Amino acid sequence: MIAVLQRTLHDEFPITRHLAVRVVHAQLERVSLTAPLAENRNHKGTAFAGSLNAVATLAGWSWLWLLLDSHQEVAQVVVQDSTIHYNRPVLTNFTALCEAPSMAAIVECLAAFRRSGRGRMRLAVEIADDHGVAVAFSGRFVAERTSGRPAGAS
């Protein structure tokens, strides 16, 4: 599944090749993506905020994509909104980790998707470098049946 998700990210989001994002874990318990500092650094040698947000968004997107795939649901995933806190600079290569939300949230999202063709879920992502967690992200992601135009971006 790591290779499938890796290929999916590169195909869906070509710029991830420039970010050099790599899938480390691709399970419903945890999705983690890693990216090198070198490709994502600013001139101060720390990670660019835009790269950190992009990798966090991709981690949440990937988790919901995996959930739908594991239930054989055909859908597109978009992000509707997100909030991010850059608590300190990221100084090394970094990893974005998205763990499963509550079972209640999963059941509700899948039920809404099957009923109406649209299911929403809030997902938390943490980014850590070699020194620990540095960035906290929370995003609202939407699974939509693949007809019509989604109310978000991906």
Provide the binding-site residues for its own copies, judged by CB under 8 A.
Answer: 11-15, 18-19, 39-44, 46-55, 57-58, 76, 78-90, 134-135, 149-154
Closer to its own copies by Cβ: residue 38 or 104: 38
Residue 99 Cβ vs its own copies, minimum distance, rounded to whole Å: 20
Q: Name every residue whose Cβ is closer than 8 Å to that of residue 153 and which is 6 or more positions away in sequence.
A: 78, 79
What is the Rg, in whole angstroms, of the alpha carbon atoms belonging to the chain? Answer: 15
Residue with tokens 């983690």: 32
How far is residue 128's CA from residue 18's CA, in Å, rounded to a whole number? Answer: 20
- Taking the complex as a whole, the smallest distance from the CB of residue 103 to its own copies amounts, in Å, to 27
Query: By C-alpha distance, which of 114, 25, 37 is closest to 68?
Result: 114
Packing angle between helix 49-70 and helix 103-116, nearest 10 degrees?
A: 70
Tokens at residue 83, please? 């909030």
Q: Tokens for 24?
A: 């480390």
Tell me, what DSSP letter sits at residue 12? H
User: Cβ 128 to its own copies, closest distance in Å?
Assistant: 13
Looking at beta carbons only, is 44 or 115 nearer to its own copies?
A: 44
Single-letter amino acid code for the residue at 96: A
Residue with Cβ nearer its own copies (72 or 83): 83
Taking the complex as a whole, the smallest distance from the CB of residue 43 to its own copies amounts, in Å, to 5
Q: Which is nearer to its own copies, 39 or 73 (CB)?
A: 39
Q: Which is nearer to its own copies, 10 or 111 (by Cβ)? A: 10
| Minimum separation from the CB atom of position 104 to its own copies (A) | 25
